[in-house]
Amino acid sequence: MNGILLYQSKYGAAKKYAGWLKEETGFPCMETKQAKISDIQSYDAVILGGGIYASGIAGLSFLKKNIHALQGREILVFGVGASPYDEKVLQAVSAHNMTEKLSGIPCFYCRGAWDMASMTAVDRTLCKMLKKVVAKKDPNEYEAWEQALMEAGNEKRDWTDRKYLQPILEKLKK
């Protein structure tokens, strides 16, 4: 099988996962912003990964725009977020993103990184506002993502791990 890895990474974790997948598969790697459908159509498999922002997977618009031209190919999508892996998180990300034309495309989740210092001013402000809202809740009632948000604080964290790629690699073998 010949394939290509597409990614959109704002802070580097999705790019890191795409690089690891390149090492594992030998597939070439390209940013979605530079991808042209005419270059992608020669591949049997397309794997797209992107950071998760406001529940949306970055770069997914490339697939939505070009899905008609990719019929008959194996397509896999992975989202990268700061929340710990949780089946509920994966289901929510999949339900939000894999709709209409993308329905039925397998979606995976990889845990990313956190670095308030490298965030844009807008992202930093949104995260601070979110922390204030979460801080008003009883910590015993935090969901996994809320717990992770509060624990991360302003510290730099890197939760990336090759283990998150195993389900993707297993799917490619089938």
What's the pLDDT score for residue 169? Answer: 96
Phi/psi at 107 (5° precision):
-125, 140
Task: Annotate 91-113 with b (16+ C-beta within 10 A) or e (fewer).
Answer: eebbeebbeeebeebebbbbbbb
> Rounded CA gap, 89 and 97, in Å?
12
| 81 burial level (CB within 10 Å; 0-12, 13-18, 19+) | buried
What's the pLDDT score for residue 147? Answer: 85
What's the pLDDT score for residue 88? Answer: 84
What's the pLDDT score for residue 86? Answer: 84
Domain ranges for the chain? 3-115+158-173
Instruction: Identify the segments of the chain with pLDDT beneath 50.
Output: none
Using alpha carbons, select from 157, 155, 149, 151 the residue that is nearest to residue 129.
149
What's the pLDDT score for residue 148? Answer: 82
Please name the CATH architecture into which domain 3-115+158-173 falls.
Answer: 3-Layer(aba) Sandwich (3.40)
